[in-house]
Structures are given as structure tokens and as C-alpha cells.
């Protein structure tokens, strides 16, 4: 063992020291970068992925920006300081231990899968049980890919896109979330491991939800994901990221970036369900999810719609936003954020109106239980030149128990007097009378809670793709199990 | 599951016994009655509301409870249904011999207790159809029956809605949200029809109803009435009892039944009010 480690260290040293002289052209066998972050590590990652020079320069620029930045402290969340030099920034995708049957999987996990109604085949995929070649995810992937390729749609991993479609990546990456945007976005830009790339050519309507495919394959998503979606003129795509299945990960810090570009008359629907490990009931452990998601309605009559269901993570910091640059552009944000036990969520959106007749709609539903804290933070900005801009915001909070908190931080910056802005906010508790009414009709406490919160979240859930909405409903119930009474 | 089979067997026995004994003796010592309330004491926040209440209901019977405001009528309904706001300090309530007080509200519902609420509760975003689906299948699960699928459920709803002349459009509306008073009460009877309870308690179902709605509600109840179930009708007004004709009328004053009689008692109350009975209790 010791020998092997020494050997690895040696190879690693050689490799990291050799970079300036020889550049990086061939595959390297090491699977892990040493802990810590410096320019060498950035070079290591880029080399490991066999990236072109411009990509490396882009990453280095981001790293240099990051070094000058400070971690934001304004969100309404608390967590111990993160030691960025104690993290390993590169690990090759680990092969999951192959299991022979579901009998070997943690029964608690299987129970959750069953409650979610996830099919047996998919349970096997998610837990790494060997599956038939016919339904193997690789072949599924290939089938979809061929079909999409015929229409000119590119849908692949970010690493692949950098190799296969460098001109597209180079043109659009960082165009919505610049490397200097914020601390976590800069960090992600410097060290992102992989992610997804999606390009819909002019006039093409993507014929399928890019969801089922992704859900099958998303089990091994990385710590620093980077996603880029570009919708050319008149195109349409509905994209779904995430997984209702509980995602355990030993990496505590997750800092993803998602960028969306919609050109003239294009529409992008982005739905996500986040269920990272929230920590135990005492608040120990759990993932910190610090995400920058932003779309730009670059063209006239374009539309970007975010729908999110957030149930996981110990700490969530996330504001999917839309820059409404084109005239008549539409931005939408639909969100359900559930916090239980000691979870903390500070989430919301930014709608930046720049074009004329731009419209935005914000529907945020926060559900807090246990000792959790749930904050909505939203900015609606109407630029000076944005004539006839309209916004409607609705922020509803539901409290379960009396030890949790719900907070709303709406910000408004209006520089054009022709704007019409409406904001509605409510805070309510699950009423004992509602619970008793349901129970008198035969439902137990958990069924009753599930019914009430699904009703509360309906406006958001109805925006999710059908099959996912059903799972999301169950997920909400599971996340709140044991929180009532 | 098992318990339900047992319940049904017991009910068959009641029916037989009922025929033998008739329905006259309301205070007889019987373990075969459907709902038996003995010496019931209940309080809310240390204030005693029910002070030793007795009622025996046999299958096939309709009992009316009348009484002045604050006498404990709605408390009685809540206590039978298992509302935890009220604490039972003494006495017993059994359904077909089973101790109800030991059960959670949803277990009581499973056993066949139904409460038509005086103030039906709004649940935003939950359609009437979804609410009923969850409700009916929960009760079926308790009774060891297979859940109904979407098609079966829809068929059953369409059939039962006719009883109270409700429009299908109600099914997709959030339950009770924006319903008029009459619509809410009809919806309660519709739910009752869906769940086919053993004992149904109607808590001032007539309040706030115009005469047409009252007839519709009463007609629904009369159609649901059979030899196996029983109704406890709580009301302020004799008017309802013209349409739902009770076998027995009980007068509740200050937490106790002070007088029981046949349907003619309701007419007497309508005429004389409650004062003459309140006087009685004061001297007791």
C-alpha cells in the first residue's frame, strides 16, 4: 500500500512539475489531484482533460480572479469556514462498486426509491447494480444521441463539447456568468470537472425532454459542474437536471454554474430537482450547494423559464436568474424550497429587465419545518431603457412547527416609470384544522401533510414535466416525514 | 382488515337483535348498539364542556341533538371524531363494541365514523377530486380493500355527486375554497356518500342553507340511510327535522342530555324554547 502511494506521489510530482516544459498531450494515469488549489492544479485539471490552450487560459484567468475575491457573507445562512486548500479539486469519475443484486443495497435507500416510485431497472442503475445490456445506460445514451444528432442537436458532456465543438464552447462559455462574476462562479470556472453542453440549432424544436436520458446518467455528477445551454433563433428545448433519488456525496462543497442563452424567438425551459444529502437530524454533515444559474434572453421574443424543487443540501445558496435583454422577452422562475431539521436555504431569483415590453413572473413557495431557516431573496431590476416592463412576484411561505423560520428579502430597482410591478407575499402555518379535516377523512398525519404541501406547491409542480412532477410530489412528502406532530 | 370483517359480522348481529327488541328502548344496557356513549366528560383548556353524557344509537336510527348555544353540541361531534383539542376526562365511546377513544382520528374514520363539519376547511391547491381520492383510498386501505384506480374513482364520484346535485366542475376546484355556504355543506354530504360511514355526525349542516339547499342535503342523507348505519344530527332548528325525520330527539343543556323523546319533542322545543328545560337542570 505504502509503496503504491509513494509511487503515485512520485508520478504526480513528475507530472505536475513537468507541465511547463512539455505541455499536456497524453493521458495521465493519476486519478486524484493533491489537496489544495494553485495554478498548477488548474493546469493539472486542464491537462487531464486534454483541453486546448484557450480553455486553460480561461481557467487560469478565472483562478486569478478568484484569488482576489472574498467568499460572500450576505446570505442568510451560517456554516463553519471552508478551507479551500483542504479540498482535492480533481478526481477521475470513480467507478461505483458493481453489485450483483439489489439485496446488497442499503435497505433504507431502497425504501426511499420505492416511495418515490422509481422503477427497479432504474434503482439498479442508481445503485450500481449490473443491468442487462439492452437497458444499459450507455446504449440508451447512444440511441438518443443519434436521434438528436440527425436534427443537429448537440447534447454531450462539457469535456466532450470542448473537444468536439470548441468553437461553440469558446463563443458562449462565460458569456452569461463571467469568470469574475462571484466567488463561487470564479472557483467553478477555474476547476470545473465536467457538466453538460446542449446546443439547439436554428429553428429546431427538440422533440424530447432532455430529462429521462439525463436522469439515468446523472448519478455520478461532479462537485464542480458546468452546464451550458444555447438555443439558436426560433428553437425550443426543455431540459431537466437532477434527480429525485437521494444523492449522497462525500464532497461537502458543491459549486455549479449553469448558463443559458436564448436567441430571437427561442425558448428554454430548465427544470431541476435537487436532493443532495441534507445532513442528519442533528444537522451534522450535508452538502453545501452554492450555485450560480443564469440565463440571458438575448434575442427578441425569447423566453427562459426556471423551475426548481429544492429539498436537499445542508446549505443552499442559489438564484437562477434571467437577463431580459431582447424586446418582448419573458423570464419565469418557479420554485419550491423545502427545509427541514437544520437545513438552511437562501434562494430566489433575479429578473433584470433591459428590453422593451419584457415580462417576468416569480412564484416562490418556501416550506420550513424542524429548526430550519428558509429565505427567499429576489431582485427585480427595471433598466432605464426598458419601456413597459412588467413583473409579477408571489412569495408564499408555509411553516410547520414553531422552531423554524421563513424570511423574504425582495429587492426592487426600478429606473423606468412605465414599469408595472406587483408583489404578493403570504406566510401561513399548516393549520390544525386542515390536518384534522384530512384525518377525519381517513388520512394519517403524513398523508395529510403531503396532501396539504402538494396543494401549496401546485403552481410550481405543474410546470415540471409530468412524470417528474409525480416523483417530486412524493419527494416533498418524504423530505417532511416526521416533521408534523 | 381483520377488524373490519369483525365489525361487519357484529353489525349483522345488531340488525337481528334490533328486529327482536325494536327500537324503543334507547337507554337499555346493550353491548350490541352501534354507537354507545357512556358518562362522557370532556374539557378544553381545563373548562369542562361535556359533563356526563349518555347516548345509545342502534343501526338504522337517526338521532337529533338540539340545545342552546354553548351547551356542548359541537364539542360532542369533535370528541367522537377524535379532535385532539378536547380532552376526555371520563366515560367511554364505543363503535360496535370497539373503544373509539383509544383510536386516532383516521382510525375512527376507517372504522366508519364520519363528521360533516359545521365549518368545512379550505385546503388551497388540493382539488376536491384529489382530496377524495386520498380519503377514499386511505379508508379502503384501513379496511383491507384494494385502492380504487382513477377510472373507478371517477365513476364512483360521478355516481355519488348526483345525490346532492353537485356539478362535476367542483371536482377540479380546490376543496372548499371559494365555495358558497351551501356548496360546502353539499360537498360534505357528497364526501359522506363516497365514504359510506357507519355513523355519520352532521354538525349544524343546515346552518346557512336556504330551503332549496336544505332539501337537497336532506334528500342526500335520506338516500344514504339504511339498516346498517346511523345518523347523529346536530341542529338548532326544527326545520331540518321536517326533512330528515329523527327516531329520537335529545336535548343537550350544559353538557348533559336533559330530555329525550321522539320527533314531536323537536316541535315542542320550537314552540317553547329551551328555558323550561334549563330550569330543570338548575334544580338538579
* pLDDT tens per residue, range B131-172: 999 999 999 999 999 999 989 999 999 999 998 888 889 999
pLDDT tier for residue A245 given thresholds of 50, 70 and 90: low
Q: What is the pTM of this model?
A: 0.78
Mean pLDDT of chain A: 81
Whether residue A220 has pLDDT greater than 50: no
Q: Which residues of B touch A454 (CB under 8 A)?
A: 125-126
Separation CA B108–CA A79 (nearest Å)? 46
**CA–CA gap between residue B9 and residue A482 (Å, rounded):** 36
Residue A312: is its pLDDT beyond 90? no
CB contact under 8 A, A442 and B191: no
Quote the pLDDT of residue A13.
Answer: 45
Q: Do B81 and A456 touch (CB under 8 A)?
A: no
pLDDT of residue B72: 94
Residues 6+ apart with CB under 8 A from A362: A332, A333, A348, A349, A351, A378, A380, A391, A392, A393, A394, A395
Say what the pLDDT of residue A6 is: 56
Judged by average pLDDT, the poorest of A139-148, B63-72, B244-253 is A139-148
Is the model's pLDDT at A124 over the cut of 70? no
For B115, the closest of A440, A443, A459 (CB atoms) is A440
Residues of chain B contacting A436 with CB distance shorter than 8 Å: 81, 83-84, 105, 121
For residue B76, what pLDDT is reported? 96
Q: A441 and B174: CB-CB below 8 Å?
A: no
Is the pLDDT at A131 greater than 50, yes or no?
Answer: no
- What pLDDT score was predicted for residue A130? 47
Q: Which residues pair with A337 in a beta bridge?
A: A310, A366
Mean pLDDT for the stretch of residues A122-151? 57
Handedness of CA A41, A44, A50, A52 (dihedral sign): positive
Q: Which residue has the higher pLDDT, A306 or A272?
A: A306
pLDDT of residue B234: 95
A88 close to A33: Cβ distance less than 8 angstroms: yes
Neighbours of B90 (CB within 10 A): 14
Q: In 3D, which of B40, B200, B184 has the Cα closest to residue A441?
A: B200
Asked if residue B256 lies in contact with residue B71, where contact means CB atoms within 8 angstroms, the answer is no
pLDDT exceeds 80 at position B38: yes
Check: CB of residue A320 under 8 Å from CB of residue A352: no
What confidence tier does B1 reach under pLDDT thresholds 50, 70, 90? very low
How would residue A24 be classed by pLDDT, with cut points 50, 70 and 90? very low
State whether A437 and B121 contact (CB < 8 Å): yes
SS3 A261: strand
Per-residue H/E/C for chain B:
CHHHHHHHHHHHHHHHHHHHHCCCCCCCCCCCCCEEEEEEEEEECCEEEEEEEEEEECCCCEEEEECCCCCCHHHHHHHHHCCCCCEEEEEEEEECCEECCCCCHHHHHHHCEEEECCCCCCCCCCEHHHHHHHHHHHHHHHCCCCCCCHHHHHHHHHHHHHHHCCCCHHHHCECCCCCCHHHHHHHHHHHHHHHCCCEEEEECCCCCCCHHHHHHHHHHHHHHCCCCCEEEEECCCHHHHHHCCCCEEEEEECCEEEEEECCHHHHHHHHHCCHHHHHHHHHC
Q: Is the pLDDT at A157 greater than 60, yes or no?
A: yes
* Lowest-pLDDT choice from A221-225, A418-422, B196-200: A221-225
Residues B127, B132: Cα–Cα separation, whole Å: 9
Of A437, A442, A454, the CB nearest to B142: A442
Sign, CA dihedral A35-A96-A159-A464, equals negative
Cβ pairs A/B, distance under 8 A? 79
Q: Which residue from A433, A436, A455 is facing B126, i.e. has the nearest CB?
A: A455
The pLDDT assigned to A321 comes to: 96
Confidence tier at A155 by pLDDT (50, 70, 90): confident
Q: Following CA atoms A113, A114, A115, A116 in sequence, which dihedral angle do they give, to the nearest 10 degrees? A: 50
What is the predicted pLDDT for the residue at A97?
A: 55
Q: Report which of B143, B235, B210, B220 is spatially closest to residue B187, judged by C-alpha positions.
A: B220
pLDDT digits (tens, 9 = 90+) for A352-382: 999 999 999 999 999 998 888 899 999 999 9
Any chain A CB within 8 A of the CB of B170?
no
As a whole number of angstroms, the distance between CA A378 and CA A320 comes to: 10
Q: Is the pLDDT reported for residue A25 higher than 50? A: no
Q: Using CA atoms, how far apart are residues B277 and A151, in angstroms rounded to an integer? A: 86
CB contact under 8 A, B123 and A455: yes
Closest residue of B to A441, CA-based?
B135
Cell numbers representing residue B228 in the block: 346498517
Find chain B residues with C-beta within 8 A of A458's C-beta: 125-126
Crossing angle, helix B181-195 and helix B211-224, to 10 degrees?
Answer: 0
Q: Which residues of A touch B100 (CB under 8 A)?
A: none
**B106 contacts A444? CB cut-off 8 A:** yes
Residues B176, B120: Cα–Cα separation, whole Å: 7
Distance from CA of B102 to the nearest CA of A (A): 15
Residue A257 has pLDDT above 60, yes or no: yes
Residue with cell 403524513: A446
Tens of pLDDT, residues A28-81: 344 667 788 899 899 988 988 889 999 999 999 999 999 999 988 888 888 888
ipTM: 0.88
pLDDT reported for residue A9: 53
Question: CA of B176, closest CA in chain A: separation in Å?
Answer: 11
Q: Which residue of B113, B131, B195 is in closest CB contact with A451?
A: B131
The domain locations on chain B are: 2-283
Label residue A260 exposed, middle or buried (CB < 10 Å: 0-12, 13-18, 19+): buried
Interface of B with A in 86-125 (CB under 8 A): 104-106, 108-110, 113-115, 117, 120-121, 123-125
Q: What are phi and psi of A159, to 5 degrees?
A: -60, -45
Residue A211 confidence class, pLDDT cut points 50, 70, 90: low
Question: Tell me, which fold does domain B2-283 have in CATH?
Answer: Rossmann fold (3.40.50)
Q: Do A437 and B123 touch (CB under 8 A)?
A: yes
User: Which residues contact residue A68 at a Cβ distance below 8 angstroms, ignoring those fewer than 6 apart?
Assistant: none
Helix (H) or strand (E) holding A423: strand A420-429
Amino acid at each position: 500500500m505504502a509503496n503504491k502511494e509513494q509511487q503515485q506521489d512520485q508520478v504526480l510530482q513528475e507530472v505536475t512539475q513537468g507541465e511547463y516544459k512539455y505541455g499536456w498531450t497524453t493521458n495521465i494515469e493519476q486519478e486524484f489531484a493533491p489537496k489544495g488549489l494553485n495554478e498548477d492544479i488548474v493546469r493539472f485539471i486542464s491537462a487531464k482533460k486534454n483541453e486546448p490552450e484557450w480553455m486553460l487560459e480561461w481557467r487560469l484567468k478565472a483562478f486569478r480572479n478568484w484569488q482576489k475575491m472574498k467568499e460572500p457573507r450576505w446570505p442568510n445562512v451560517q456554516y463553519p469556514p471552508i478551507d479551500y486548500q483542504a479540498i482535492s479539486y480533481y478526481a477521475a469519475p470513480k467507478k461505483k462498486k458493481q453489485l450483483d443484486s439489489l439485496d446488497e443495497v442499503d435497505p433504507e435507500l431502497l425504501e426511499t426509491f420505492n416511495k418515490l416510485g422509481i422503477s427497479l431497472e432504474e434503482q439498479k442503475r442508481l445503485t450500481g447494480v449490473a443491468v442487462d445490456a439492452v437497458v444499459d445506460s450507455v446504449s440508451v445514451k447512444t440511441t438518443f444521441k443519434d436521434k438528436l444528432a440527425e436534427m443537429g442537436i448537440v447534447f454531450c458532456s462539457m469535456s466532450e463539447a470542448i473537444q468536439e465543438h470548441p468553437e461553440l464552447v469558446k463563443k458562449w462559455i462565460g458569456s452569461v456568468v463571467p469568470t469574475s462574476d462571484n466567488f463561487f462562479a470564479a472557483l467553478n470556472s477555474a476547476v470545473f470537472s465536467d457538466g453538460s453542453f446542449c446546443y439547439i440549432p436554428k429553428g429546431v424544436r427538440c422533440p424530447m425532454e432532455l430529462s429521462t436520458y439525463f436522469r439515468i446518467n446523472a448519478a455520478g455528477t461532479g462537485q464542480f459542474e458546468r452546464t451550458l445551454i444555447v438555443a439558436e433563433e426560433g428553437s425550443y428545448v426543455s431540459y431537466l437536471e437532477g434527480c429525485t433519488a437521494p444523492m449522497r456525496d462525500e464532497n461537502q462543497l458543491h459549486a455549479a454554474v449553469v448558463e443559458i442563452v436564448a436567441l430571437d424567438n427561442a425558448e428554454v425551459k430548465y427544470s431541476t430537482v435537487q436532493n443532495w444529502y441534507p445532513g442528519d437530524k442533528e444537522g451534522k454533515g450535508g452538502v453545501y450547494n452554492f450555485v450560480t444559474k443564469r440565463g440571458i434572453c438575448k434575442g427578441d421574443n425569447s423566453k427562459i423559464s426556471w423551475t426548481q424543487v429544492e429539498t436537499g443540501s445542508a446549505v443552499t445558496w442559489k438564484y437562477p436568474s434571467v437577463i431580459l435583454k431582447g424586446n418582448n422577452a419573458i423570464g419565469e422562475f418557479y420554485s419550491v424550497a423545502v427545509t427541514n431539521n437544520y437545513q438552511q436555504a437562501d434562494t430566489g431569483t433575479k429578473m433584470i429587465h433591459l428590453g422593451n415590453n419584457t415580462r417576468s413572473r416569480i412564484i416562490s413557495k418556501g416550506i420550513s419545518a424542524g429548526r430550519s431557516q428558509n429565505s427567499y431573496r429576489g431582485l427585480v431590476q427595471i433598466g432605464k431603457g426598458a419601456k413597459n416592463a412588467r413583473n409579477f412576484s408571489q412569495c408564499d411561505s408555509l411553516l410547520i412547527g414553531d422552531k423554524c423560520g421563513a424570511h423574504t428579502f425582495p429587492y426592487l430597482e426600478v429606473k423606468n416609470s412605465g414599469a408595472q410591478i406587483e408583489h404578493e407575499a403570504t406566510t401561513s402555518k399548516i393549520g390544525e384544522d386542515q390536518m384534522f379535516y384530512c384525518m377525519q377523512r381517513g388520512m394519517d398525519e403524513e398523508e395529510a401533510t403531503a396532501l396539504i404541501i402538494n396543494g401549496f406547491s401546485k403552481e410550481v409542480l405543474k410546470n415540471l414535466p409530468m412524470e417528474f412532477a409525480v416523483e417530486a410530489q412524493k419527494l416533498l412528502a418524504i423530505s417532511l416525514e416526521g416533521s408534523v406532530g | 382488515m381483520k377488524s373490519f370483517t369483525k365489525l361487519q359480522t357484529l353489525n349483522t348481529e345488531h340488525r337481528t337483535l334490533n328486529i327482536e327488541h325494536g327500537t324503543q328502548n334507547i337507554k337499555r344496557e346493550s353491548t350490541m348498539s352501534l354507537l354507545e356513549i357512556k358518562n362522557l366528560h370532556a374539557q378544553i383548556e381545563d373548562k369542562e364542556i361535556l359533563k356526563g353524557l349518555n347516548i345509545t344509537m342502534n343501526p338504522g336510527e337517526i338521532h337529533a341533538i338540539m340545545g342552546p348555544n354553548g351547551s356542548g353540541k359541537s364539542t360532542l361531534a369533535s370528541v367522537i371524531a377524535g379532535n385532539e383539542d378536547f380532552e376526555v376526562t371520563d366515560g367511554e365511546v364505543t363503535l360496535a363494541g370497539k373503544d373509539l377513544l383509544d383510536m386516532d382520528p383516521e382510525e375512527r374514520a376507517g372504522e366508519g365514523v364520519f363528521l360533516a363539519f359545521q365549518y368545512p376547511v379550505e385546503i388551497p391547491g388540493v382539488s376536491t377530486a384529489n382530496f377524495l381520492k386520498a380519503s377514499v383510498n386511505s379508508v379502503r386501505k384501513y379496511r383491507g380493500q384494494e385502492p380504487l384506480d382513477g377510472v373507478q374513482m371517477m365513476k364512483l364520484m360521478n355516481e355519488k355527486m348526483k345525490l346532492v346535485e353537485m356539478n362535476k366542475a367542483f371536482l377540479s376546484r380546490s376543496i372548499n375554497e371559494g365555495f358558497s355556504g351551501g356548496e360546502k355543506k353539499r360537498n360534505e354530504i357528497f364526501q359522506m356518500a363516497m365514504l359510506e360511514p357507519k355513523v355519520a355526525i352532521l354538525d349544524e349542516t343546515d346552518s346557512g342553507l336556504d330551503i332549496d339547499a336544505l332539501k337537497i342535503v336532506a334528500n342526500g342523507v335520506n338516500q344514504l340511510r339504511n339498516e346498517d348505519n346511523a345518523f347523529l344530527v346536530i341542529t338548532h332548528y326544527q326545520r331540518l327535522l321536517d326533512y330528515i325525520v329523527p327516531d329520537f330527539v335529545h336535548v343537550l343543556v350544559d353538557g348533559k342530555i336533559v330530555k329525550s323523546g321522539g320527533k314531536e319533542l323537536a316541535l315542542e322545543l320550537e314552540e317553547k324554547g329551551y328555558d323550561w328545560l334549563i330550569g330543570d337542570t338548575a334544580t338538579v
